[in-house]
A and B are shown apart, each in its own frame.
Chain A
Amino acid sequence: MTSLPPLKKTLVEAVNLALAHEMRRDESVVVLGEDVAANGGVFRATEGLKDEFGIRRVMDTPLAEALIGGVAVGMATQGLKPVAEIQFMGFIFAAMEHIICHAARMRNRTRGRLSCPMVIRAPYGGGIHAPEHHSESIEALFTHIPGLRVVVPSSPMRTYGLLLSAIRDPDPVIFLEPKRIYRASKQEVIDNGEALPLDVCFTLREGKDITLVTWGAMVQESLQAANQLAQKGISVEVIDLATLKPLDMETILHSVEKTGRCVIVHEAARTNGVGAEIAAQLAEKGLLYLQAPVKRITGYDTPMPYFKYEHYYMIHVDEIVRGIEETLAYG
């Protein structure tokens, strides 16, 4: 394939680029959801797709999320590769029955006769002053479900590469887009169709004193905290989980073996969050590496407050810095 000149893209533009690339490459890829065609998606993730691929492959559905989930299952069993958009993650609940009872287990219950090679994309997370139900971080609801893959990109480049992989993956992928950083920065993205691997973490910054594990929009604050601490001579290794399920514990364990300490940062509520699984596996497999208790820096066990108060809920750089310093001070 001829390589194209790199373009500076935002995260949401990288979504668009990957969708368009894969639709050109593979006729079986179709896009469906609310407002995805004429409007190009409320965040413009599907902008231009209707014009290029037509309404046969880019479908505005009726306003019905259960329908979107179920129709994607049906399409996928017939060999299409639907990429369904749920407009905001807080509206995904009606589709859960189809995701959990059907998409996640079709392959298993038909012993491989049928499968669901589908992607459900949903913008997620808080911090954009949205109305209620528009700021949820409920990735753990999906990581708990056997048979699903859960992928969360954290930069334009990884968005492009991971979305290509998600679409090409033969099993259902929940692809959660951190909308707070949809347009936070631009990065060169080469539209060469090169996918990034699923099921592995990305070590964004190497360090020797402590391991910080995070994903999605919190990668931004985590890297800022690591930069601040570097000025104090503290070396933080930052790992972007990227695929939340299945979980690449190997990378995390290797890192903790080196650093001996670990903090986990996630915006989602604390109890039974993905951080709990990481901490549990560290206790099971890496206890003897640890020189301090694993610390979780997370959202509270409350709903996301209405937006006037959301900054009290969101995690700030100074909290991460403080959490790391406490963990380093231990013992």
Chain B
Amino acid sequence: MLTAKHQKNNFFSETVAEFNITYTQLINHLGESVHPLDEDLESQKLLSDLYKSMVFIRMFDKKAVALQRTGQLGTYPSSLGQEAIGVGIGHAMNKDDVFAPYYRDHAIHYLRGVSLADMLLYWGGDERGNIISNAPQFDLPNCVPIATQITHAAGIASALKIRNEKKAVVTTCGDGATSRGDFYEPLNLAGAWQLPMVIVVNNNQWAISVPREIQTAAETIAQKAIAAGIPGEQVDGNDALAVYSVVDKALKKARAGKGPTLIEAVTYRLSDHTTADDATRYRSPEALNKGWEMEPVKRLQTFLHNKNGWGPEQEREWIAECDKKIAEGVDEYLNMPEAPPEDNFNYLYAELPYTMKEQRDHMIAKAERLNAANASNDSNDSNKREA
């Protein structure tokens, strides 16, 4: 626990405010519970749901990286090692809460109902991945410009509050994002307007190559909430149950009109930043190995196993089910017919200004030309192969 105390350092000064930041862990890295669990948290269903979701998302993530490596997906940000955060959040949210993601939130998308094909379409360079027809339609799409989604979340929370809706918004970001004005500014507003929002920072210790310790001199990221007048707390981001528990509480508080919460989930990025990155350039193997010791999936498996809540047979069955579901999603993605190229015009405005129709027609003609040339190249290639 960290306590920021003002020293009584001379005759004229006295402490006028004190703050502390708590850290919540329920299951440690050995898979042992460190506190007796509340009844609702000890539910067998909740525990196995959290575990199963983590296994699923880790397998999906591995598949996505493999697709990228084989040229079937674009640059992809792996969530390896950070599954507990997304899974904890995803299970704590209600469907009618609103989600404003950053870009490493595959687990939350999955739990919100986004299809695997949609997720892959987005990372495969296709705007249709943002249609997310199976998921809550007021959720925002992935957000690449760092921390900007937090300002949007403050706007969403304002809308919920103005309409007196008993819902909350969850937004996520990385540790690097907390250096930006787009983090501090909505945090301040959330406090000033007592907005129904929960901000979860995935502190995975790295902003591409920049380690957490040189990103900020603050002892915790959670304490950044204090200056905004809102509660901030740390949670073990490798403990899905703990993440679920603190996010659930913060959401209930927000929905009840009792204000925002900043949650710093402390974890470790076991992957590269994205598939375009090579972390061996700046990270030691020792640091990575240490990260693996804390990872979230194994510990919950051990915990469940020791409670007789999960055995090898269930593990095999679940993995087979995940494999099947992932294969179906990948299949759907790979077999998706190309969208009309002019969609880039069709969705630009509610109605395309007549002045732009010439450009749209130009693009249609260009696409036809390019596709015809490609088709003739392909047939030339196959002719060559046959010859």
Contacts and interface: CB of A to CB of B under 8 A. Distances in A.
Contacts of B181: 64, 66, 94
A62 interface: yes
Contact of B348 (A67, A302, A307, A311): A302
Interface string B272-304: 000011000110000000000000000000000
B210 interface: yes
Nearest to B345: A302
A305 B344 contact: yes
B89 to A, nearest CB: 22
Interface in A71-96: 90-91, 93-94
A313 B277 CA distance: 27
Interface stretch (A36-44, A216-224, A241-249, A280-288): A36-44
B146 interface: yes
Contacts, number: 111
B356 interface: yes
B177 A63 contact: yes
Given A63-B207, A94-B180, A302-B345, A307 B359 contact: no
A310 interface: yes
B126 A300 contact: no
B282 A38 contact: yes
B37 interface: no
Contact of B126 (A91, A270, A308): A308
A130 interface: yes
Contact of A63 (B124, B210, B282): B210
A133 B145 CA distance: 7
Interface in A292-331: 300-303, 305-313, 316, 318-319
A62 B359 contact: no
B359 A300 contact: yes
A277 B304 CA distance: 68
Nearest to B210: A60
B326 to A, nearest CB: 21
Q: Which of A40, A130, A312 has the most CB of B within 10 A?
A: A312
Contacts of A34: 207-208, 210
Contact of B179 (A39, A64, A318): A64
A62 B215 contact: yes
A66 B341 contact: no
Query: Which 10 pairs between the two chains have the least Cβ-Cβ distance?
Result: A62-B179, A39-B209, A307-B125, A63-B176, A308-B125, A306-B125, A312-B341, A38-B282, A64-B179, A35-B209
17 contacts: A38-B282, A39-B281, A62-B179, A63-B176, A63-B177, A93-B145, A94-B181, A129-B74, A129-B75, A131-B125, A132-B144, A301-B356, A302-B348, A308-B126, A311-B370, A313-B344, A318-B369
